[in-house]
Amino acid sequence: MSAHSEARGTLYLVPTPLDFGVTQAAPAAPSEWLPAETLDTARRLTHWITENAKSTRAFLKRVDALATLAAPVQAHQIVELPRAAHKKGDHAPQAGSDAQARELLAPALLGHDMGLVSEAGMPAIADPGSSIVRAAHAIGLRVVPLTGPISLMLALAASGLNGQSFAFVGYVPQEATERTKRLRELEAQALKTGQTQILIETPYRNAALLQALLQALHPHTRLAVCAALTLPRQVCRSALVQEWKRSPKAVAEDLPLDAPCVFLLGR
């Protein structure tokens, strides 16, 4: 195939269900959360760039169970993002990372459509992948994002907090003094400008973050926690900090803080 842009493949951003890593008696079919355009595209693609090849093969098997893939999973080319991209993110252009991203996109230059995928949710949002998308634009590929569940936005809509101005700030520091300082900075920003602040944490630290939020924030600040989004035990709770404090028992008992959570604060 020629290198002419007409012959190049498209980079699709393929979202996956949010139940990754969740032990379930009977996992729901991915069609519960992924619409036809997303499933049809996933079925057709054979070249993937992913955060984790194993989880991508598992995803493809679930899609295959709904309707047969164009090619068997074993025949797919599935390459992983460089390790460095996993924890710290791959956005900052380190020495060589842009060149590496272009190498991973080589099949698209030969005319193959490709899929970018993460373990759960939308690639390149609160997850690695943006270095690949940037490289795709640089070499003139068409980039097409597909619809699927995005935990940050499900949580924002369900929070009752301001959805006309918001920021996702990622993780806060683990060390107690620094964490309190950062939470108060975010609260000051939210109260001053009305911009909802959205944060996440590793599940085993969710309970500690919730306690830190209740201690650090003003009684009249609104705090929302959405846990286990899209899953059967999903809970979204939103109340003023003083109201959260009035029922600490309910907080501890009803919120599945061992599941992935999104925390939101604002006015």
- Rounded CA-CA distance 177/179 in Å is 5
Residue 180 in contact with a second copy, rule: CB under 8 A = no
The vertex-263 CA angle with 259 and 170, nearest 5°, equals 95
- Rounded CA-CA distance 100/19 in Å is 30
Give least dist CB 74 to a second copy, A.
27
- What sign results for the dihedral spanned by CA atoms 71, 73, 76, 81? positive
- Write each residue from 85 to 124 as x if it is in contact with a second copy (CB under 8 A), else as -, in one continuous string: ----x-xx-----------------------------xxx
- Rounded CA-CA distance 139/61 in Å is 31
- Kindly tell me which of 111 and 160 has the beta carbon lying closer to a second copy: 160
> What's the start-to-end Cα distance of the chain, in Å?
56
Residue 207 in contact with a second copy, rule: CB under 8 A = no
Pick the closest to residue 70 from 112, 105, 17 (CA basis).
112
Give least dist CB 161 to a second copy, A.
7
In the region spanning residues 20 to 49, those forming contacts with a second copy, defined by CB under 8 A, are 29, 31-37
Query: Which range of residues in 51-59, 69-77, 103-111, 136-144 is near a second copy by CB under 8 A?
Result: 136-144
Residue 190 in contact with a second copy, rule: CB under 8 A = no
In the region spanning residues 246 to 265, those forming contacts with a second copy, defined by CB under 8 A, are none
- Rounded CA-CA distance 127/87 in Å is 9
Give least dist CB 174 to a second copy, A.
17
Binding a second copy (rule: CB under 8 A), the pick from 130, 183, 206, 244 is 130
Q: Are strands 47-50 and 77-80 parallel, antiparallel or unpaired?
A: parallel
Binding a second copy (rule: CB under 8 A), the pick from 50, 129, 179, 223 is 129
Number of amino acids touching a second copy (CB under 8 A)? 63
Binding a second copy (rule: CB under 8 A), the pick from 16, 45, 52, 166 is 166
Q: In what order do the strands lie in the sheet with 114-117?
A: 77-80, 47-50, 114-117, 10-13, 142-145
Residues 6+ positions from 251 with CB-CB distance below 8 Å: 210, 237, 244
Q: Are 90 and 135 in contact (CB under 8 A)?
A: no
Give least dist CB 264 to a second copy, A.
11
Residue 225 in contact with a second copy, rule: CB under 8 A = no
Q: Which residues bind a second copy (CB under 8 A)?
A: 13, 29, 31-37, 89, 91-92, 122-127, 129-131, 133-137, 143-145, 147-150, 152-170, 194-195, 222, 226, 229-230, 234, 236-239
